[in-house]
Structure 1
Amino acid sequence: MERHLISHHAHADHPIAAPVSEDNLERLLARARPPARARILDLGCGEAPWLVRALSLYPDATADGVDLSDTGFAAAVEEAERRGVSDRLRLHHGAAASFAAEEPYDLVLCVGATHAFGGLAPTLDAVRGHLRPSSGLALVGDGFWERPPTPEQLARLGAEPGEYADLPGTVERVESAGYATVYGHTSTLAEWDEYEWSWTGTLTRWALDHPGPDGEAALAAAREHRDLWLGGYRGVLGFVTLLLRQT
């Protein structure tokens, strides 16, 4: 079973594909306060929950979402129609790193999708290329080490010690890349647990409802993910979403 389909089924009950609650998602978007008639871009949008909420908050804004997999686009359109914002949402099937637009954006998001660019530093470079000069804002969400991982934990994660910094180090990396941090949200353990229990549980339920090769593959993926979370990165890997402005 293809990985993007596993991810799609796993996120059915938690379309925010990151350990961020709906309340905190809206709080971050409200803090952004883009200008009138803002142009908004989400690189790695999935089912576009951030964009749909942003369009609901800012009724004169327009938005573009880009994702390599278009599996979640139908759900994005359905939710956008339910909220009455579908006429201001455009979805693009393709690699986020290859997306090009003729005009800059007032707000660029990349939350939980920095892997599409190869990590935080190249993500920040890519985001800058889409931002309106001087006034553009970015919402970028990525992992950080809550505490130093052990060699065994690193091996289980397939990670290097320097792949993430701690929280102060993450902010330093962002600001060294030419951004000022104007707000942030550090995901709580409760947000992480809600996200992971939903991811693994929703996928398990789907697998049990679909016996056969696909169900078996999904069930194996759910168990592998749960074991990696509970026995590996729970309480070790954190997640922070930063509201940034270019300096």
Structure 2
Amino acid sequence: MTSTNHDPFRFSTIAHRNHRYLSPLSRRKACELIRSLSSNLSADDIVLDAGCGKASVLRDVLCMSPARGIGVDINQNFLNEARASFQQECPADSRLSLINAPLLEHARPQEGYSAILCVGSTHAFGSFEECLRVSRGWLKPNGLLLVAEGYWKQIPSQEYLDLLGGTADEFATHAENAQLARSLGYNLVRTATSSDDEWDEYEGKYCDAMMQYLASNPDDPDAVAFTKRMQDWHSGYLQWGRATLGFGYYLLARD
């Protein structure tokens, strides 16, 4: 049976249906990073979540500060879930605005942002470097950027690059990511990396959500393609990805 569903986000939406964060991030680590970012935010400050997904990090910021938040993403399903979750977590709280639009096209506040979050969504800017450059222009003086980006733990094998559909120069090292930020006018406030446990939790739930969905929906027209895609992906994670691809968090202050 051939799929007639043209939603380009369908696979990701299903595979992430049981994730809070759409990245290998634990609640504990998220709390530590957000505490550092939000300690000085006031009710006059606006925080942008760029490529927000379910806006989970932004929702955490709003729970830990009086700031207002704007989340921008092109996956309407994720935004619907973000809105429902925030209404459940913070009933009658109107501080969260969600925008379904390409990031670079969204209407920005004239005064700029006090903080920007971009956790695993630098592609919404075009690249990690563009995220750093553009965010610096969108931030107020002394504003903070919490950005998360992949990095190579070791030189990737060609087989792994083929699976990713990527190239060896797509990522740098953790230290090189931090150095690039400094060279573009940021001061490092703190850094962190995803642990093996966080990666296993993320990738395990990713695979499990899809396989549970397919078991419950065997007649889905995408079942065969999605099964192969997920099995190939998870096998690649175990064989190459777990030892090769890291995920770094960089809390940066605009100088």
Q: Sort the Cα spacing of 1:225 and 1:155 in 2 relative to 1 into closer, same or farther, 3 A.
A: closer
Separation (CA, whole Å) in 2 of partners of 1:237 and 1:174 = 20
TM-score computed with the length of structure 1 as normaliser: 0.93
Question: Is the aligned partner of 1:181 residue 2:188?
Answer: yes
Q: CA deviation at 1:168?
A: 1.3
- 1:38-53 equivalence runs, <5 A: 38-53=45-60
Counterpart for residue 76 of structure 2: 70
8 Å contact from structure 2 (residues 163, 233) kept in 1 = no
Separation (CA, whole Å) in 2 of partners of 1:55 and 1:26 = 12
Unmatched 5+ stretches in structure 1: none
- 1:190-205 equivalence runs, <5 A: 190-205=197-212
- 1:79-98 equivalence runs, <5 A: 79-84=85-90, 86-98=93-105
Letter in 2 for 1:178: G
8 Å contact from structure 1 (residues 20, 191) kept in 2 = yes
Counterpart for residue 113 of structure 1: 121
Q: CA deviation at 1:116?
A: 1.7
Separation (CA, whole Å) in 2 of partners of 1:6 and 1:157 = 16
Partner deviation per Cα, 1:25-67 (whole Å, 9 max, x = no partner): 1111001124211211100001110111111111x21100000
Classify the secondary structure of the residue corresponding to 2:42. coil
Alignment match of 2:137 (pick from 109, 126, 129): 129
Separation (CA, whole Å) in 1 of partners of 2:250 and 2:125 = 17
8 Å contact from structure 2 (residues 193, 247) kept in 1 = yes
Q: How high is the sequence identity, in percent, across the aligned residues?
A: 31
Question: Is the aligned partner of 1:27 residue 2:32?
Answer: yes
Separation (CA, whole Å) in 2 of partners of 1:204 and 1:64 = 33
Greater mean deviation of Cα atoms: 224-233 or 135-144? 224-233
Alignment match of 1:227 (pick from 207, 227, 235): 235
Q: CA deviation at 1:8?
A: 1.1
Counterpart for residue 216 of structure 1: 224
Classify the secondary structure of the residue corresponding to 1:243. strand
Q: CA deviation at 1:5?
A: 1.6
Classify the secondary structure of the residue corresponding to 2:243. coil
Q: Sort the Cα spacing of 1:3 and 1:34 in 2 relative to 1 into closer, same or farther, 3 A.
A: farther
Separation (CA, whole Å) in 1 of partners of 2:236 and 2:107 = 36
Separation (CA, whole Å) in 2 of partners of 1:216 and 1:162 = 32
Classify the secondary structure of the residue corresponding to 1:148. coil
Q: CA deviation at 1:120?
A: 0.6
8 Å contact from structure 1 (residues 156, 232) kept in 2 = no
8 Å contact from structure 1 (residues 208, 215) kept in 2 = no
Letter in 2 for 1:24: K
Q: CA deviation at 1:4?
A: 0.9
Separation (CA, whole Å) in 2 of partners of 1:232 and 1:198 = 18
8 Å contact from structure 2 (residues 160, 236) kept in 1 = no
TM-score computed with the length of structure 2 as normaliser: 0.90
Letter in 1 for 2:132: L
Counterpart for residue 167 of structure 2: 160
Partner deviation per Cα, 1:5-32 (whole Å, 9 max, x = no partner): 2111111111301111111111110011
Separation (CA, whole Å) in 1 of partners of 2:25 and 2:148 = 10
Separation (CA, whole Å) in 1 of partners of 2:180 and 2:82 = 33
8 Å contact from structure 1 (residues 55, 62) kept in 2 = yes
Classify the secondary structure of the residue corresponding to 2:48. strand
Counterpart for residue 236 of structure 1: 244
Separation (CA, whole Å) in 2 of partners of 1:230 and 1:117 = 29
Separation (CA, whole Å) in 1 of partners of 2:154 and 2:187 = 25
Q: Sort the Cα spacing of 1:158 and 1:216 in 2 relative to 1 into closer, same or farther, 3 A.
A: closer
